[in-house]
Structure 1
Amino acid sequence: EPFSRAPPTTKDFQQTADLELCLREQGLYESNEEAVLREEVLGRLDRLVKEWVQRVCAWLGLGEFGEVETNAKIFTFGSYRLGVHGPGADIDTLCVGPRHVSRDLHFFGTEEHCLQKMLSDLPEVTELQPVVDSFVPVIKMKFSGVSIDLLYAQLATAVVPENLDVGAISTLRNADDKSVRSLNGCRVTDTLLNQVESIETFRTALRVIKLWAERRGIYSNVVGYLGGVNWAILVAYTCKLYPCGIASVIVDRFFKVFARWPWPTPIMLREIEHDAMGLQVWDPRINPRDSMHLMPIITPAYPAANSSYNVSESTLAAMKARTQLHQTCLLQEEFEHGEKVCTRILAEGGLTKWHKLLEPVPFFRNYRNYLQARLFLTPSQFIPFATCCFMHCILQEAWDGWVHSRLRQLVMRVEPFVTVRPWPKAIFPPRGPEAAGQPRRCFYFMGLKKKPLPSQPGGRASSVNLNNPVQEFKNQVMGYLSWKEGMHVLITHQMQKALPSFVL
């Protein structure tokens, strides 16, 4: 039930106008020209996948090209579908195809009937990168300069209707697991939008919260914080609690609600549906593992899942652990910080100083000790040395992406010994003329704090040796299936005063 249906005041309207002005000053809105280009690219991609399924049908011997009744269709999801994307942001897209068009045989591949091959032949498509073995397989590319992440869902129907409703549960019938996960991106996005009364209020508030989370270094579900869908669900939940609130009110109440939220009480926008198709849903009463989740934020579309299962002890310590160890959980701490800043700026007169809420966290000044992970390639018979070589760039991106995807494992391995705060973004040193011909370097950092001894609250712990957990992590990432000689990761301890100059 809503907490309040109080209508907005004159002051609320003024503070919301100030908020929208702040967002525009931050450059969060794309130009009309870029918006038109995105629409053109999506239209071109939709026509291309329709041609693709016709080509597959001809290759399978189902009829001459253009004579078979078949179809494929492009949908969008994520920040673009929510309407909160910014300039240069990628577009999450989903291609839905019929049962005879396979992901492994026809979506990926270098034969003439494969979509990957058709895309690679287009001059307007650059930086094409198929990611076949991920949890949700994807083709990444730039299409006329627009970044696209393209997923594929194979339906159990012979024809994909042009008016297909991906929100219908029947769409999931007999679909494979990867198709269900791909479809759920669209299904969650559409269901989420249907849960809020004012989409424009939701969008403005979500833009603020996403930018705040990015500036505070807590926007990334890969390393154990929260990602885009998590923040969207939390903002939508706040909108439901205050259905008459406008953007400034929603942002303020967002911090008030989640600074006090009794985790692990789950966030649910609607009741969980059970047994609609026999798929597993999040339910700690049935699945004991679900009761172990620290910060459950449940997706609103069937099958319901915990979208924040990556949250770790260090990024959100359980409340009981916080009391015992005198720790401040990072996400809870950031919610409390946001609440204090919001309360202060909304109480001031004149123009609302929203920029104060969006000030970056001084991560590289907040800790005395850091873990530094340096990723680089060295020339070998498998890795070309020339940094301008396309293959070198592809291998470097693949290696960086693999290690980044496993960083949460490093957090989990070291957090029994220290409190750890990972910085979610890769950092690349500036490259001057002297770096010409040298391999590109990629850095990740984690802030470390010693845990106080349980018997001496507030006291300093003895020295900590992280060699074993670090070596275990290195062994794990070196097990990369596509690892090649010359791929390296070097993890070292750095004092704050010894950090490289490009992060200070």
Structure 2
Amino acid sequence: MNKVKSMASVQQNRQIRYGITEPISLVGPTELDVTKTKALEKYLQDAGLYESNDEALRREEVLGRLDEIVKTWIKKISRDKGLSDETVEQANAKIFTFGSYRLKVHGPGADIDTLCVGPRYATRGNGFFGELHRMLSELPEVTELHSVPDAYVPLMGFKLNGVSIDLLYAKLPLWIIPEDLDLSKDSILQNADEQTVRSLNGCRVTDKIFRLVPNIQSFRTTLRCIRFWAKKRGVYSNVSGFLGGINWALLVARICQLYPNALPNMLVSRFFRVYTQWRWPNPILLCSIDEDEGSSLGLQVWDPRRNPKDLLHKMPIITPAYPCMNSSYNVSASTLRIMTGEFQRGRDVCAAMEADQWDTLFEPFGFFEAYKNYLQINISASNVEDLKKWRGWVESRFRQLTLVIERHTYDMLQCHPHPHGFHDDTRPLQCSLFMGLQRKEGVEAGGGEPFDIRRTIEEFKQTVYGYMLWVHGMEVSVSHVMRRSIPSFVFPGGVRPLRDSKGTRDSKRSSEQRVSSTVSSSSTITSCERRGGKKRKLGGDETLTDQLRNSKRVAVSVHVENGEDGSPNSSAGSICSAPMKVGESHPVEKIDIPQDSHSQESEEVEDNFGFRNQVVKQIPSKDAFSKGAVEVEELEDVPMQRPVVTPKASVQLRKPIIKLNFTSLSMTNAKNLRAC
């Protein structure tokens, strides 16, 4: 019976085109694919990614209780406004869900993203963050209540009967909110303020994704797998400059469109194959950006031809619901490089993997073993409530530190922010963030040229101290720590793992190279995929405070080396001004990162989609873009050339220290181009 349904689904998907391009392959699953998919589903089950039936029922009860609360709240608001008895009787507010819970890819203990839709007389300030906040604070089943009214998308967070809730608010220009309200219609945005438009976007995008994927169940299983992988590999964090839940959902949905008849195990493999070869910043689009649909609303959509800021986006992933926006604007050059490397690793692992060996793909990334030099950002406050607010603010600015370091070092010093913070049990009012550092591969060291990032760190701290709700006791410090001095509380159980010897590391590196070489010989699309569909061309789918509080500087020089494979060399020595004890750190002044003598050459892109040595035109014509024709752009043949490197005179033993210049981004990009 299931086989008959599968055949019917394949036949239906052959007749329907999903997305803005023709699919890469219409081939259905083989018996081996069915076996691998069952093994993948079992692995995800054993990993504890699915909630129990009792927990699912408990969440439904909590959502029902929340709906009762907001309905009581809106009737009180209508009475306080002096509205008629009939209006008070009909007064209504409605709860919608979105995000991982709405997509049904959430796990045990995950929070629920919710949206409260209210009428025109229930304001966001006095109504939502005022009266509703007061009502929630008086309920015994509500705990950990906090408001973030000044966020890009204002929200309240709390726990209701132990279930975490993030509650947004949208005020519609209606006197009565109907129970059958449809948020998918663009007319719902008429006369809505910007905060309401952004709050509605989560629900509208989630509903649109369901209509744009060929098989919802395959999409959900694949997305659950990719989310688990991203968290294990440390690339799941929108606030740190990586990708968040909606970003990964859009990426997976695009793969489902390109392979409409594939099972989850096939989709996971194709996910890594496609995005390893994707030519960023070509955008990911699930549907065409049709401005005519909402032209009467006049809302700004993502369009690099009209909006110069859109040209700066490194990894545009465009939301399908009007107004179409780039959901991944937080991505920087460094985080894009890290994610691209993880895509390549995932592709290699999937190509070499046997039927049920998924452990290697989900192997956690050893962040504190990958680099030799780190920045440690310590966040402290006088009490728990202040620490919670202060930490949230500093984490929201953490991405800015990556950006200013990239800008002030002309992208020659690469940063890897850790997506999560760490707590020291001995210091309950302090938490720490970490960032790995290394010199850009291929950049000559110039005899140990140091990166002077003193003013960069000062600028970041001044931005952080510009927090409007800052109170005495909120402090932040930035210091440099070597790998051997990383505090023990960042490791599981507070136990520092034994370091591998150099021989062991070399053995691992050789093993990885053997796997990579094996994969490269078998990474082309199979002949059955070429027969199943037409061979196609892949289209592009704070202000600073005037005064720095409590900041100190101590000069110290840091020396970092890259290994033979471009990764940090753990055997390189340090030339700090004084020996460092375990757990000791120093405020950062200069970072000195010499380049290795043997740089790894970039691997040539496989010709899986028939575009070897080709590039996609990034910005199509206006008419083509608006009509969704961006997917069938012609590809230009361009020669692949090695970068020209001009040798330096042997008498020049040391280049001058890189001085920090506060130049514009365009000047920085120009300097980078001249350096290439």
TM-score (structure 2 length as normaliser) = 0.67
Match of 2:77 among 56, 67, 70: 56
| Map of 2:643 onto structure 1 | none
1:210 corresponds to 2:231: no
CA offsets, 1:144-189, max 9 Å, x none?
0000000000001111110000111011110110000000110001
1:478 corresponds to 2:482: no
Matches within 5 A, 1:155-170: 155-170=172-187
Q: Residue 26 of structure 2 aligns to a residue in which SS?
A: coil
Q: Say whether the 8 Å CA contact 1:224–1:408 is kept in structure 2.
A: yes
Match of 2:57 among 24, 33, 36: 36
1:355 deviates by 1.7
Aligned amino acid, residue 223 of structure 1 = S
CA–CA separation in structure 2 for the residues paired with 1:292 and 1:491: 28
Cα pair distance change 1:197/1:461, threshold 3 Å: farther
1:126 corresponds to 2:126: no
CA–CA separation in structure 2 for the residues paired with 1:460 and 1:69: 76
Aligned amino acid, residue 28 of structure 1 = L
| Map of 1:353 onto structure 2 | 357
1:122 deviates by 0.9
CA–CA separation in structure 2 for the residues paired with 1:194 and 1:267: 17
Aligned amino acid, residue 353 of structure 1 = Q
1:306 corresponds to 2:326: yes
| Map of 1:335 onto structure 2 | 343
CA–CA separation in structure 2 for the residues paired with 1:273 and 1:52: 38
1:460 deviates by 6.8
| Map of 2:45 onto structure 1 | 24
CA–CA separation in structure 1 for the residues paired with 2:179 and 2:255: 35
CA–CA separation in structure 2 for the residues paired with 1:69 and 1:288: 47
1:191 corresponds to 2:208: yes
Q: Say whether the 8 Å CA contact 1:453–1:461 is kept in structure 2.
A: no
Per mean C-alpha deviation after superposition, the further-off stretch among 242-251 and 410-419 is: 410-419
Q: Residue 355 of structure 1 aligns to a residue in which SS?
A: coil
| Map of 2:118 onto structure 1 | 97
Match of 2:451 among 460, 464, 468: 464
CA offsets, 1:106-127, max 9 Å, x none?
0111xxxx11111111110000
| Map of 1:230 onto structure 2 | 247
1:344 corresponds to 2:364: no
1:74 deviates by 0.3
Q: Residue 160 of structure 1 aligns to a residue in which SS?
A: coil
CA offsets, 1:35-62, max 9 Å, x none?
0010001011112111111110000000
Q: Say whether the 8 Å CA contact 2:242–2:330 is kept in structure 1.
A: yes
CA–CA separation in structure 2 for the residues paired with 1:201 and 1:452: 39
1:226 deviates by 0.8
Aligned amino acid, residue 337 of structure 1 = R
CA–CA separation in structure 1 for the residues paired with 2:64 and 2:446: 62
| Map of 2:432 onto structure 1 | 443
1:502 deviates by 2.0
1:406 corresponds to 2:397: yes
Identity of aligned residues (%): 51
| Map of 1:323 onto structure 2 | none
Matches within 5 A, 1:187-336: 187-275=204-292, 276=294, 277-316=297-336, 329-336=337-344
CA–CA separation in structure 2 for the residues paired with 1:53 and 1:501: 50
Aligned amino acid, residue 335 of structure 1 = F
Q: Say whether the 8 Å CA contact 1:452–1:459 is kept in structure 2.
A: no
| Structure 1: tracts of 5 or more residues without a match | 317-328, 379-391
Alignment: residue pair count: 463
CA–CA separation in structure 1 for the residues paired with 2:197 and 2:434: 35
TM-score (structure 1 length as normaliser) = 0.90
RMSD of the alignment, in Å? 1.4
Aligned amino acid, residue 296 of structure 1 = P
CA–CA separation in structure 2 for the residues paired with 1:217 and 1:376: 24
1:11 deviates by 0.4
1:105 deviates by 1.4
Match of 1:362 among 344, 363, 366: 366
1:452 deviates by 5.6
Q: Residue 346 of structure 2 aligns to a residue in which SS?
A: helix
Q: Residue 199 of structure 2 aligns to a residue in which SS?
A: helix
1:427 corresponds to 2:422: yes
Aligned amino acid, residue 119 of structure 1 = L
| Structure 2: tracts of 5 or more residues without a match | 1-21, 491-495, 497-676
Q: Residue 415 of structure 1 aligns to a residue in which SS?
A: helix
| Map of 1:180 onto structure 2 | 197
- TM superposition outliers: structure 1 runs of 4+ over 4 Å: 64-67, 458-461
1:292 deviates by 1.8
Q: Say whether the 8 Å CA contact 1:16–1:246 is kept in structure 2.
A: yes
Q: Say whether the 8 Å CA contact 2:78–2:88 is kept in structure 1.
A: no
Q: Say whether the 8 Å CA contact 2:184–2:207 is kept in structure 1.
A: yes
Q: Say whether the 8 Å CA contact 1:78–1:186 is kept in structure 2.
A: yes
| Map of 1:319 onto structure 2 | none
Q: Say whether the 8 Å CA contact 2:374–2:436 is kept in structure 1.
A: yes
Q: Say whether the 8 Å CA contact 2:423–2:432 is kept in structure 1.
A: yes
1:297 deviates by 0.3
Q: Residue 356 of structure 1 aligns to a residue in which SS?
A: coil
Matches within 5 A, 1:389-404: 392-404=383-395
CA–CA separation in structure 2 for the residues paired with 1:412 and 1:203: 33
1:485 deviates by 0.9
CA–CA separation in structure 1 for the residues paired with 2:285 and 2:149: 32
| Map of 2:475 onto structure 1 | 488
Q: Say whether the 8 Å CA contact 1:58–1:65 is kept in structure 2.
A: no
Per mean C-alpha deviation after superposition, the further-off stretch among 93-102 and 460-469 is: 460-469
Q: Say whether the 8 Å CA contact 1:222–1:404 is kept in structure 2.
A: yes
